[in-house]
Structure formats: C-alpha cells, structure tokens
Amino acid sequence: MTIYGIGTDIVQVSRVAAVMTRTNGRFAEKVLGPDELRVYHARQARSAARGLAFLATRFSAKEAFSKAIGLGMRWPMTWRALQTLNKPSGEPMVVASGELAEWLDARGITARVTISDERDYAVSFVIAETGQESGTMQTETQAAPAAQTQVQTQPQPPTQTQPPTQTQPPTQTQPPPSTPTPDAPHAPATDE
C-alpha cells in the first residue's frame, strides 16, 4: 500500500450545536448520508447529546476524508456522497457512493478512518491509500449489489517476533564536565 494522502479534522461540538440551532436542524439533513441520518435520528431520540456527538464525528470524518483525498469539499466529494458507518464490531468504515465512488475506484483509492469524541470535541483521522487491497475500501463497481464503496478490513498475518536477546547491563556514563549534576559541589560565591 502506498499512502495517497492523510487528513485530520477536529470539530468543536458547541459550534455544530449552534449551526443546528441556526438552521432549525436542517444541517443534519444537508451533511449526513441516508444511512447516517437514520443512525443520527435514533441516537437523537435517545439523547440530544448523543445525536449531536454523532453529527459532529461524522462531519469531522467527512472533512478529514476530503483532505486525505486532496479534493477538499468540491466535486465529486460531497457531504452526502461519503458516509462513515460502523461495522458490527463498532469499527468505523468509510462508505462512498455515486460519482465519488467512481472517482475513488478509477484511482484505486481506499481509506481507513478513526473517529473519537469527548464532550467538547470530535476528531477524525483518515489515511487514503492506493495499491494492493488490505483493509481497503471497495468501490461500487466491486460491491455490485450495494452500489457503495465500503472499507473492508482483512486480518493481517501474524508478525514474527525475534527471540529475546541477552543484553549487557547498562554502562554508567558521566555527564560532560560543563553539565551540572545535582550532587556536584558548587563553588562558593565570592564578593569580588
């Protein structure tokens, strides 16, 4: 795999709350894809704070993804063309559709995403890669029935560990003469 790009984004949750207030909730419909919107409404129904945190993390993930692929928020990267959903294990996965999925497929771009939130902030980190598939995103042409791009994580082969090596006891090093040490005597001050 070759890194195509890296993107990160941090969102202050209170700013998302302010936009939601200003737009009477339409911001969620503008930014979230259809599957994300269903999850958002379910979480919002349970707790306003959970719904807001979900919206902030998804907004952050879209911004980070747009940076990783080098487009920013311009065609074919649109808010609703990219969704961050969760696998049954809870691991987030990127799902692209439409022209964005075609654009990614034409370039062989896959992506890995991580998201996190606390009370005040949501943060996302995306690595876009090209090359051999391993923990990759399938495009809509590869995942025919879904017509969407999905990240699939394949198990990695176990790494071989080296047998423990015998180490020598650490040698004592003396600091250079110009470096004061805590137990070194200090010259008395003189009044000259």
For 152-178, what is each residue's pLDDT tens digit? Answer: 333 333 434 444 444 444 444 444 444
Is residue 63 annotated as involved in ligand binding?
yes
Q: Where are the domains of the chain?
A: 2-152
C-alpha span between 58 and 64 (Å, rounded): 10
The pair of structure tokens assigned to 159 is 């790494």
Indicate whether this model's pTM tops 0.85. Answer: no
Is residue 133 annotated as involved in ligand binding?
no
The pLDDT score that the predictor gives to residue 73 is: 83
C-beta separation of 59 from 36 below 8 A: no
Count the neighbouring beta carbons within 10 Å of the beta carbon of residue 111. 27
Which alpha helices (H) appear in 88-130, and where do they start and end?
A: 98-107
The pLDDT score that the predictor gives to residue 67 is: 96
The pLDDT score that the predictor gives to residue 6 is: 95
Percent of the chain with pLDDT over 70: 68
Task: Name the class of domain 2-152.
Answer: alpha beta
Query: How do residues 124-149 score in pLDDT, each as one tens digit?
Result: 999 999 985 544 454 443 443 333 44
The pLDDT score that the predictor gives to residue 153 is: 30
